[in-house]
Amino acid sequence: MKFVTGVFLLASMICLQSCEFSCSVGDTGDKDKNIVRDPKSGARIRNEIKLDATDLKIEKAYLAFADGEMVPEDNIVDFSQPVKMVIVFESGWKEIDGRVNLGASEKIIVQGGEVLLDEKDLFPEKKLPNGLSATDAKTIALSASINLTNEIKPLTAFTVSFRIWDKNSNAAVEGEYKLYAK
């Protein structure tokens, strides 16, 4: 009887044995399907932000609310709090004594062409006479705050255009993204 039980256990172990092998080499892609890799720069982009960089290496770009919560991928928001566009830079700014002198512009246009905001330089020299530290310049966030005074149709589009540039070199990034009213 012991022999039959032993043969049965051995046969069961052989039949029920399961094995899985997995191997990957290199970048297997982002787990989050909402992240798109920019084919030109390799940057991870969320929220359909369009970027064009010159002499800059960008790690990632995304939209977040002022409280840090991520903006939904469809960019439909209720404008109850500002939306920040965050860009994380790997390299490219020209440092002088550990400081970087940047400029940034932002323009918000409502569907139909009305300009709501047109700031030519959010970092003027009189506000930042010594520029930014090189560490702080690795992550730049520009906020878009839209206060709706009239009720608007759902899915009304707001186009936010931006440009961030190095005042000491040719390094710059420009682009745009859309926000839609809830």
Reported as a single tens digit per residue, the pLDDT across 109-168 is: 998 899 999 999 998 888 888 889 999 999 999 998 887 766 677 678 999 999 999 999
Q: What is the CA radius of gyration of the chain?
A: 25
In 3D space, the residue among 144, 139, 140 whose CA is nearest the CA of residue 119 turns out to be 144
What residue type is assigned to position 120 of the chain?
K
For residue 110, being part of any structural domain is answered with yes
For residue 14, being part of any structural domain is answered with no
Location of structure tokens 């359909």: 48
For residue 101, being part of any structural domain is answered with yes
The tally of domains found in the chain comes to: 1
Residues 131, 138 contacting (CB under 8 angstroms): no
Question: What is the CATH classification number for the domain harbouring 65?
Answer: 2.60.40.1940
In 3D space, the residue among 18, 12, 72 whose CA is nearest the CA of residue 48 turns out to be 72
pTM attached to this predicted model:
0.77
Location of structure tokens 């970048």: 27
Structural domain that includes position 174:
37-181
